[in-house]
Amino acid sequence: MTRTELKEVFLEKGIECSHLDDVVHDAASSKASDANNRGIDGQLDFLLDTCEWTPQDVLNALENK
């Protein structure tokens, strides 16, 4: 099923973006937990690749903690 077809199913069933809020949160939380369990390499993969942060973004986030 393509993204377009999935969106058509959503329209047919009355599914709105707010219905996906918890699904997105749970998926992201699971990915973040997996990254944390893999140590610094997993954490950097998550931040740099998945979140598309720059190395400076990571350093800035650490400075703001």
Q: What is the tens place of the pLDDT at every residue in 37-48?
A: 999 999 999 999
What is the Cα–Cα distance from 47 to 55, expressed in whole angstroms?
9
pLDDT at 38 (0 to 100) = 98
Evaluate if pTM is beyond 0.85: no
How high is the mean pLDDT of the chain? 97
Strand, coil or helix: what is 44?
A: helix
Handedness of CA 27, 10, 2, 17 (dihedral sign): negative
**Cβ atoms of residues 48 and 58 within 8 Å:** yes
Measured CA to CA, the distance from residue 42 to residue 9 in angstroms comes to 35
- Residues 3-31, mean pLDDT to the nearest whole number: 97
